[in-house]
Structure 1
C-alpha cells in the first residue's frame, strides 16, 4: 500500500513547535518513565510517522504520544494495521482525550448532575494514583518549561480528577482532595502558559484553578494559584495587579503556620518591587525572605510542587530578576552567581534562564567578552525552544550590537546563533 502523509501528525507537530528530532527526544524520555528503559527513537523514525510509512506505532509508543498530546492515536492520524470491525480497533485510555476537558467549572456542575450516580466507591488510593502523575508534570516543567504539551497534559489530568468525582461515591475528605488535585494540575497548566508567555491562556487557567481551590479548601494550593497570578501579572508588566495578587497569597493563614510559604511570598514581592523600580526595598525584602527561610522547619511536610523548586537557588533567582529589572547590575550579577552555585541538577530550565540573565547583567556593566562567553553557555535547545530564554537572548544580542557594534564579540555571537537553526 502506498504511504499517505500523516497530515494530522504534521499539523500537531507544527502547532507545538516540534522538529522530528525534538519529538523523538521527548518520546524517548517518556518511554523511559513508562517502561524503565530509554527509548531509541531518532528523527528518522519520526519522519516515517510523518510520511505515513509507519502507520501504527507499538502500544507503548502510542501511549506516550497520547500522554504528550492529549489526543488519541487516531486523532494524530495513525491507522491500525487491520480494521475488521469497530471492536477490533484498539481503544485508548479516555483519560488522555482532550474532549474530556471542557473546563473545570463545567465539569464540576456535571459532577453534581442527577441521574449519573454509580455504585463505585472512590477512595484515597484512586486519588493517590492520579497524584503520582503530578510528579511527572512537575519534572517536565523543570526540565523543559513553557511547552504547550506540558500545559495540555496538566489540563487533561485536571479533567480526569473532575471526572473521577462523577464516577462514584466518596467521603468529603476524598472529594476535597480530588478538587485540590484538579486545582494543582490547573495551576501547573497556568505556570506552563506563563513560562511560555501565553498570558491569556494563563489567566483562563487561573480562573478555573481558583474555583477548584475554593471547593477544596486547601490553603497550600490557594497560595500557589495566587502566587502564580502575581507572577503572571508581573511578566505582563502590570505590577499593581501583581502586588495585589501576591498580597492575597501572603495573607493566607498558611504563611503564618509555615515560614517557607512566607519566604516565597516575600521573594516574589521583591521581584515585583524590582519591576516597579523600588530599589531601596530590594535588599531589605531579600533579607526578610532569607530569615523566614531560616525559620522554616526542614522536616515539615510540604506539597511536592513547593519542595521541587523552593530553595536558596530560587530565592537568589528572584533577587536576580528583581535587581535586573531595577537596573542594579552588580547586585544582579552577585545573585546570579549565588543561584548557579546552589542550583539543583534537574532545574534545567532555571539554569538557562539564570545564565541568560547573568549575561545581561555582565553586558550592562560593560563586560562585553565575559557576557558573550556567558550567553554562549546557554543550551541551544533552550535558546531556541523556550520562549522566555529566546526573548532574553534576542534582547542580549540587540544590546551587544548596540554596545559594541562591529566588535569581535558581536561577530562571534552572530556566528554562534546561526548554528541554532538545526535546533529550531
Structure 2
C-alpha cells in the first residue's frame, strides 16, 4: 500500500470503531515509518493492530516506559515497522540519475537487493517467520518492482529484478505459511509464481512449489500438496543440480507418506539421499537453499519415517539431525526437538518425551513459540495427557506448560 492508502484504510476502521471519520493522513504514516512518532494514540494503535493482525509492540512501536530502556541501545530506535519499508526510503538503494535526468537501474541496484534478501533469509533461520518477516519481505518485493518503473535497464537486469521480487514474495509466502495464515499465503503464492515466470527462473519456481505443497498439506488438501511437490521436482533446475533435486525429492517423499503411498515414499526418499551423496554441496547457490544440508535431509527423512509408523527410526534420524544442525538454525532446532518428543511419545517413552519437550518450552526472556512449532507443542501436550495423565512428571509438565500456555 501507498502511505495515503494505509491512512484511508485506518480511517475507515476508525469510523467503524468510533462512529466518526478518522483524520489520519499520509503524514501520520510517514511519522510512524521514520520514528518521529514512536507510540501512536490509543485509537490509532487499535486500528493498526486490527489492520496488521499484530500488537503495536510486534509492529515495532515502543511504549514510553520501554523507550527509556532502549535509549542506550539505539538513540534513534527506528522500529521494526520502519525496517519493513526500509528499502523504499533508504537513499543507499536509490538508482543512479543520468545526466539527461532519467534514471539508470543496473546490476548494482539488484546486488543491494540480493544482499538484503540474504539478510532476510538469515533472520528467518534465526528468529523464525512471522508478521515482521512477511511485511519486510513484501516491502523489498515492492521496491524491486518499483525499480522496473523508474528508468532505463537492460533485459538482463529486468529479469533479475523480477527474480528478486519473486524471491522476496516467496519469503512472505513462507512467513504466512509458517504463521498458519492460508488466505494471505495463497495471495503471495499466486503473485510469486507469476513473477518467477516473468523472470524465467525454474529455481525460484521449485522453491515456490515446495511452499505450495506445505500450504496445501496444512489445509489437508493432500492431492493438491502431492501435485505441487511433484511439480517442484519436475522443474528444470532439479534436472541440472542434485542439491535441488534432493530437496524436492525429500519433500515429495513427505507428501507421499502422508497420502498413504508408503512404497513410493520410501523409494523417493532413497533417491533423495543417494542424490545428495553424489552432489557437490560446496558450490555457490542461492541464499534461500542454504538451510538444506545432511542434517536437514535427516530431519525430513525422520518426518517420513514417523508417518510410516517407524518411530524408532524417526527418533534415530532426529538425534542425528540435532547433533549436526548448525547453531544459527534455531527455529529448525526447536521444530525437530518437538518432533523428537513426539517420536519418543509414540514409542511409549512418555517420561523421556516430556524431558525432551521441556528443553524447548520458552522460559522468561525467551521468545514465544509460534507458527508450526506452536501447533506441534499443543499436539504434544494433548498426546502426553492421553497416555500418562496421572504420572508425576506429567503433572510437572502441565504446570510448566500452563505457565506459558497463554503465549503458546
Please indicate the TM-score interval, normalised by the length of the shorter structure: 0.7 to 0.9
Q: Which residue of 2 aligns with 1:141?
A: 124
Partner of 2:396 in structure 1? 412
Deviation of 1:121 after TM superposition, in Å, equals 1.0
Residue 18 of structure 1 deviates from its aligned partner by 5.1
- Contact 1:329/1:365 (8 A) holds in 2: yes
Match of 2:156 among 148, 173, 177: 173
Q: Counterpart of 1:349? A: 331
RMSD: 3.1
Distance 1:325 1:383 in 2: 29
Q: Shift of the alpha carbon at 1:335? A: 1.6
1:107-122 alignment to 2 at 5 Å?
119-122=102-105
Question: Normalised by the size of structure 1, how large is the TM-score?
Answer: 0.76
C-alpha distance in structure 2 between counterparts of 1:359 and 1:385, whole Å: 16
Cα-to-partner distance string for 1:100-151 (whole Å, 9 max, x where unaligned): xxxxxxxxxxxxxxxxx97111110011111111112111211232311111
Q: Distance in 1 between matches of 2:121 and 2:273?
A: 25
Task: Give yes or no for the alignment of 1:48 onto 2:77.
Answer: no
> Unaligned 5+ residue runs, structure 1?
28-44, 71-91, 97-116
**Count of aligned residue pairs for this structure pair:** 357
Aligned to 1:310: 292
Asked whether the 8 Å contact 1:95–1:156 carries over to 2, the reply is no
Corresponding position of 1:150 = 133
- Tell whether 2:187 aligns with 1:204: yes
SS at match of 2:223: helix
Greater CA deviation, 221-230 or 180-189? 221-230
SS at 1:380's partner residue?
coil
Which of residues 317, 333, 355 is equivalent to 1:335? 317
What is the match of residue 39 of structure 1? Answer: none
Taking a change above 3 Å as real, the CA distance of residues 144 and 291 of structure 1, as seen in their structure-2 partners, is: same
Aligned to 1:399: 383
Q: Do 1:183 and 1:213's aligned partners in 2 also have CA atoms closer than 8 Å?
A: yes
**Pair 123,209 (structure 1): closer, same or farther in 2 beyond 3 Å:** same
1:6-405 correspondence to structure 2 within 5 Å: 6-9=42-45, 12=48, 17=54, 46-48=62-64, 60-62=76-78, 64-68=80-84, 70=85, 94-95=88-89, 119-307=102-290, 309-380=291-362, 384-405=368-389
Cα deviation, 1:288-345, whole Å, max 9, x if unaligned, reads 11111122123433111112x1111111121122222333211221221111111111
Please give the alpha-carbon distance, in whole angstroms, between the structure 1 residues aligned to 2:251 and 2:327: 23
Unpaired runs of at least 5, structure 2:
1-38, 91-99
SS in structure 2 of the partner of residue 166 of structure 1? helix
2: CA distance, partners of 1:333 / 1:93: 43
Moved more, 266-275 or 173-182: 266-275
Change (3 A) 1:4 1:173: closer
Please give the secondary structure, in 2, of the residue aligned with 1:175.
helix
CA distance in 1 between counterparts of 2:49 and 2:392 reads 38
2 CA distance for matches of 1:363 and 1:383?
25
Closer/same/farther in 2, CA of residues 417 and 356 from structure 1, 3 Å limit:
same
In structure 1, what is the Cα distance between the partners aligned to 2:201 and 2:191? 15
CA distance in structure 2 between the partners assigned to 1:228 and 1:18 by the alignment: 27
Seen in structure 2, the aligned counterparts of structure 1 residues 277 and 262 have a Cα distance that, compared at 3 Å, is same
Task: Provide TM-score, normalisation by structure 2.
Answer: 0.79
Q: CA deviation at 1:223?
A: 1.2
3-state SS of the aligned residue for 1:292?
helix
SS at match of 2:150: coil
Residue 353 (structure 1) shift: 0.7
Change (3 A) 1:257 1:118: farther
- The 8 Å contact of residues 158 and 183 in structure 1, kept in 2 or not, is answered as yes
How far the C-alpha of 1:180 sits from its partner, in A, is 0.1
Inter-CA distance 198–173: structure 2 relative to 1 (3 Å threshold): same
Deviation at 1:221, TM superposition (A): 0.9
For the residues of structure 2 that align with 1:10 and 1:264, how far apart are their CA atoms? 43
